[in-house]
Amino acid sequence: MIYARHTAATVLKKANVPIFQIQESLGHTKPETTKNYLGDFDDDSKIEVTKSLMRFKKAI
């Protein structure tokens, strides 16, 4: 489940959704928590996860 949360948060970030909205969707009380959460993966991993999610989305 944690990967789904990270993926969703990463997709939202890539879509330029404001941090406070991502924070709210994840249930974080502090924006710093969300920023740390999004910073857990390196940029290349985030890009690959996002691409995989987008391919999956197109398939359904």
Instruction: Report the predicted TM-score, pTM, of the whole model to 2 decimal places.
Output: 0.60
| Residue range 38-56, pLDDT digits in tens | 876 566 777 777 888 888 8
Amino acid letter, 1:
M
- The residue among 24, 22, 15, 59 whose CA lies nearest residue 38 is 22
Number of domains forming the structure of the chain: 1
At 18, phi and psi to the nearest 5? -60, 145
Task: Evaluate whether 54 touches 8 at the Cβ level (below 8 Å).
Answer: no
pLDDT confidence bin for 8, thresholds 50/70/90: confident
Residues 23-31, mean pLDDT to the nearest whole number: 92
> Greater confidence, 7 or 21?
21
Domain that holds residue 23: 2-59
